[in-house]
Chains A and B, each alone.
Chain A
Amino acid sequence: MDTLTNWRERLISKTSRPTLVTTYRYWLWLALLTVVLINGMYQYSTQWRNGLYVTDMRDRISWGLYITAFVFFIGISHAGTLISAILRASKASWRAPITRIAEFITAVALIVGASFVLIDMGRPERILNVYLFGRWQSPIMWDVMAITTYLTASIIYLYAPMIPDLALYRDRLSKKVGTVRAFLYRTLALDWRGTPSQLKLLGKAITIMMLIIIPIAVSVHTVVSWIFSMTLRVGWNSSIFGVLFVAGAIFSGVATLILVMAILRRIYQWEEYLTEKHFVYLGYLLAAFGAFMIYVNINEYLTEGFKLEEAGEFAFRQLFIEDFAVMFWFYIIGGLLGPVVLMLIPKTRTIGGVVAAAILVDIAMFLERYFIVVTGLRVPLMPYEPASYAPTFAEWSIFAAGIALFCLLITIAIKIFPMFAVWEMTEEHEAVFAGADRAQESMATSGAPNAAAFIDGAPDQRQRTEGDAP
């Protein structure tokens, strides 16, 4: 057990390092993000003053980069759901080191994604009308409902499993950090002592959230797809859009998780916890979803192309051989086929290979969102020339600010919150020491077992905890 204790101490030390150590590079990074964010805010202020005229969106192509960003960020928010909830429900023990990061990505991506809806509005102050005059016949209203539900559920699902770790920070770091963070840990830890009753209650909360967050997440991106597919518009009028969007969301969510993991691993030397195994497993997920996406795309375009109605010809031309062909084929070959190939070849089945695949996927999925939004609106409904759309500097600036905000929130979160689920990881590690039988017992479905063991000042609760763990 001495080895286990040492391992746990090292883990706590490594986890809390970002909280305790701030290098000049951190401040530089923060400054860079702030500059990008301020530029975006300035550009938005011009849009606020002058209206959407500062964008290239007009009456015919009325959605562009903002809605693309909205769909993209909502998509990557699915990282937390898949990795955390689905793997937790399926008792995949390797998930432990990556769940917290994935859950943070979910919450942050949702906040950023939802803000793009407001940005896309010419009169954002009218958002209240959605609540005052909401009509449930409108897919926009379904979207508001789904995202509100998902955001609330995600925050609770992020917070609940973090309580034991926040208690750990409260006990270990309160005297090493400033008063604000000490207060924060004390407040957020909810007087966690790891008592049997607390464990039982926390287990119930986590189990409830784990089970409901999966259908909520699926519904969210399905509803996002319905904004398009409930429209009688060539290119959007599809019954398979829900599946395409959900699969694409998980696909890009996993890719973003891989990228964030790779960056944090390198900066904070977390190689011991974020191992090659984690990257390769996530790479397999990428490949599986890449293959599934290829299947869904064939299904979508072949059935439409075989019947090919009159207006469909224009949609197919612009996508396959004309204006958007480069984007489309990069998406198919680079973004969908590429990850599958990279994971099939043993030599590229490495951290580098997985990261390369993740970069391809994120770029491809962004492009996919873009051409879905723009090409659909570009198909003329009446006999006139198709409109063109090219995002303006203001749009690119605001989009960049969205990415900067995403990075900034993650960067700040790293500084405050434990990025590893210490108690879950210790439990997993402990299971290796204690043997298979014990492992089976302690990785019980509730997800809130022996967290009491890791609360300082409560060593005597260890036995009680083990006895009461669900």
Chain B
Amino acid sequence: MSHLRVPLGTWIRTLLIAIAAVVMTAAPVFAAEIEIAVGAPERVSVGQDVEIKALLHQDGAPLEGAEVAVTYQAAIAGESGRVELATAVTDATGTAIMSFQQRADENGEMQVVYLGPDDDPVKPHTFTIAVEAGGEQLYQQQTGVRIPFVNGTLLIVVISGVWFLIALAAIYLVRVGMAGRITDRPSSEDGSIWISVALAAAAIVTAVGMVIVFVRAPVSNTHITDPDGYDRTIVNYLDVSYPYEGFGLDDDSDARTGDPLVDGSVLYFQYACAACHGLTGQGAVVGGALVDEIGSLSSFADDV
């Protein structure tokens, strides 16, 4: 069987030829890889306009005309996926600038992804941006009529006036007790004014407490401190990635009538979208318009 023995040199030559063949065959592929570099701020606050710069190179040269998007991972109604924040097309220098307003008070994992026109898979560039919660409340009712003197301050005056009178009556009762005290009587027969003192104290404390609650009420036309410096109530912004699971449907046939409009309506309410985004999805005080995102209740039903 020795005539079948292959010399080591032959093995080495064959291996080198094979490697050379593979390298030659795959070279164009490696040469075509698109590289994404990202320039993004490390820290932003809610309400701030954010600019993400993506630089694309192919084969070491700037890639022009490529569409990219910035996305983040989110979940809604038990469904999770990536939410697209902005898109842009690279210029002659291979640069794409994507802008969006920071709405969520957290972003999770963000990515700049290549959208084409090349169909070859391109590894997205993953990064994070630290978000400072609080900041600007993005959705506020814009309509309203400001009537001079008819405002929260007037209400405070009225409430204070009422409670002043209640406290005054209670103080009169304290004085009733004090006026009836007889010092030379045995103390065991003495009454007490503590009950009226307690009433007066309760009235005064409640009155003051109500005014304090009132004054602290956040961001409203009755708020008498500086709204810009106010940061107490957590406001949920659009795009926040709370994994809302909902209660589900007792009978899911409600959402399977075959009429996509009806199905979409049921789901839209069942998953409480309407609570923030309004009955028609066109925006409300808390949540903005979803019309662009979900298209219509029919397409929403399809998506869900």
CB-CB < 8 A to B291: which residues of A? none
The verdict on A239 contacting chain B, using a C-beta distance below 8 Å, is no
Partner among B180, B199, B217, B222 whose Cβ is within 8 Å of the Cβ of A191: B180
The verdict on A298 contacting chain B, using a C-beta distance below 8 Å, is no
Cα–Cα, bound, A137→B223 (Å): 10
Q: Is the CB of A149 within 8 A of B214?
A: no
Interface positions, chain B 191-240, Cβ under 8 Å from A, are 191-196, 199, 202-203, 206, 209-210, 213-214, 216-218, 220, 222, 232-233
Cα–Cα, bound, A153→B265 (Å): 48
**Chain B residue at minimum C-beta to C-beta distance from A60:** B269
**Chain B residue at minimum C-beta to C-beta distance from A149:** B162
The verdict on B247 contacting chain A, using a C-beta distance below 8 Å, is yes
Interface positions, chain A 186-204, Cβ under 8 Å from B, are 186-193, 195, 197-198, 201-202, 204
Q: Is the CB of B176 within 8 A of A381?
A: no
CB-CB < 8 A to A381: which residues of B? 269, 279
Q: Is the CB of A191 within 8 A of B220?
A: no
Cα–Cα, bound, A414→B218 (Å): 46
Q: Is the CB of B193 within 8 A of A191?
A: yes
- Nearest CB on B from A387, distance (A): 11
Interface positions, chain A 151-190, Cβ under 8 Å from B, are 152-153, 155-156, 159-160, 163, 170, 186-190
Q: What total of A-B pairs shows CB separation below 8 Å?
A: 132
Q: Is the CB of A384 within 8 A of B254?
A: yes
Partner among A148, A202, A212 whose Cβ is within 8 Å of the Cβ of B210: A148
Q: Is the CB of B196 within 8 A of A212?
A: no
Q: Is the CB of A149 within 8 A of B163?
A: yes
Interface positions, chain B 156-178, Cβ under 8 Å from A, are 159, 162-163, 165-166, 168-170, 172-173, 175-177
The verdict on B294 contacting chain A, using a C-beta distance below 8 Å, is no
Q: Is the CB of A131 within 8 A of B265?
A: no
The range of chain B's interface size is 35 or more
Cα–Cα, bound, A269→B170 (Å): 35
Partner among A134, A152, A204, A383 whose Cβ is within 8 Å of the Cβ of B203: A152
Interface of A is mostly: helix
CB-CB < 8 A to B162: which residues of A? 149, 212, 216
The range of chain A's interface size is 35 or more
Contact with B along A368-404 (1 / 0, CB 8 A): 0000000000000111100000000000000000000
- Nearest CB on B from A209, distance (A): 5
Q: Is the CB of B176 within 8 A of A201?
A: yes
- Nearest CB on A from B184, distance (A): 13
Q: Is the CB of A156 within 8 A of B217?
A: no
Q: Is the CB of B169 within 8 A of A187?
A: no
Q: Is the CB of B220 within 8 A of A135?
A: yes
CB-CB < 8 A to A135: which residues of B? 217-218, 220, 233
Cα–Cα, bound, A380→B251 (Å): 17
If A152-B202, A195-B180, A212-B162 touch, whether A204 touches B265 (CB-CB below 8 Å) is: no
Q: Is the CB of B180 within 8 A of A190?
A: yes
**Chain B residue at minimum C-beta to C-beta distance from A187:** B192
The verdict on B181 contacting chain A, using a C-beta distance below 8 Å, is yes
The verdict on A240 contacting chain B, using a C-beta distance below 8 Å, is no
If A149-B166, A187-B191 touch, whether A382 touches B209 (CB-CB below 8 Å) is: no
Interface positions, chain A 261-286, Cβ under 8 Å from B, are none
**Which chain B residues have a beta carbon within 8 Å of chain A's beta carbons?**
152, 155, 159, 162-163, 165-166, 168-170, 172-173, 175-177, 179-182, 189-196, 199, 202-203, 206, 209-210, 213-214, 216-218, 220, 222, 232-233, 247, 254, 261-262, 265-266, 268-270, 279
7 closest Cβ contacts across the A-B interface? A191-B180, A190-B177, A205-B172, A191-B191, A208-B169, A382-B265, A205-B169
